[in-house]
């Protein structure tokens, strides 16, 4: 189970904790553990540490799962993690698999007030839009949503929840194998 040099975690999990931690996400983490896939989830972080330390955990990962749900954009932290993930994707340092849990890719990619995801996004945007730097942050959030949603992802609308978790693990394993092969080829040359 090789991990890229300098990479501690194979998979970083980005999700709305209040909504998913004790239900859907618990099934995903259980399945990852059963398949021997190393992952990072914030519950393993030492309490009392600065939240910015979580951004380091993204950099220590080779794969990230952006698990979009209706309440995902209620969290400024989720959105800021997504911006960091986009930055690392742009640098070729991270692969992201978008997971659409009971939301559509279209609603996430272009949030409008016609969906619960969009309403939650714009509610957060209104809360933070008091300064020009905050307006820049909203622009970065929108760019990150569009960029990550352009990746090949998985949607819960296509299967039962147990099948959906299986598909997520299968996709992670396939991507991990591709990354491991790329690393072997780099070290060979």
Q: pLDDT for 107-127, tens place per residue?
A: 999 999 999 999 999 999 999
- Check residue 50 and give its pLDDT: 60
- Check residue 3 and give its pLDDT: 39
- Check residue 180 and give its pLDDT: 84
Q: Which residues are catalytic?
A: 81
Would you say 147 and 105 are in contact if contact means Cβ atoms under 8 Å apart? no
- Check residue 189 and give its pLDDT: 65
Q: 71: how many CB neighbours lie within 10 A of its CB?
A: 18
Q: Which residues of 8-40 are buried (b: 16+ CB within 10 A; e: fewer)?
A: ebbbbbbbbbebbbeebbebbbebbeeeebbbb
Average pLDDT (51-76) is 90
| Full-model pTM | 0.89
Would you say 117 and 72 are in contact if contact means Cβ atoms under 8 Å apart? yes
CA–CA dist 167, 7 (Å, integer)? 24
3-state helix, strand, coil in the chain (%, to 5): 60, 15, 30
Per the structure block, which two tokens stand in for 143?
């760019």
């Amino acid at each position: 189970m090789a991990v890229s040099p300098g990479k501690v975690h194979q998979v970083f999990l980005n999700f709305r904790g209040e909504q998913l931690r004790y239900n859907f996400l618990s099934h995903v983490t259980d399945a990852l553990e059963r398949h021997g896939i190393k992952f990072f989830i914030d519950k393993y972080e030492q309490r009392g540490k600065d939240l910015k330390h979580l951004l380091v955990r993204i950099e220590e990962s080779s794969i990230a799962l952006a698990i979009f749900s209706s309440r995902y954009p209620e969290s400024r932290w989720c959105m800021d993690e997504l911006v960091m993930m986009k930055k690392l994707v742009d640098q070729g340092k991270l692969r992201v698999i978008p997971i659409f849990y009971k939301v559509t890719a279209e609603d996430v990619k272009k949030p409008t007030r016609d969906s619960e995801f969009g309403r939650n996004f714009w509610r957060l945007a209104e809360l933070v839009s008091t300064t020009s730097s905050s307006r820049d942050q909203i622009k970065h959030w929108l760019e990150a949503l569009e960029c990550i949603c352009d990746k090949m992802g998985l949607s819960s609308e296509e299967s039962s929840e147990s099948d959906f978790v299986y598909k997520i693990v299968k996709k992670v394993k396939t991507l991990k194998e591709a990354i491991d092969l790329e690393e072997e080829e780099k070290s060979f040359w």
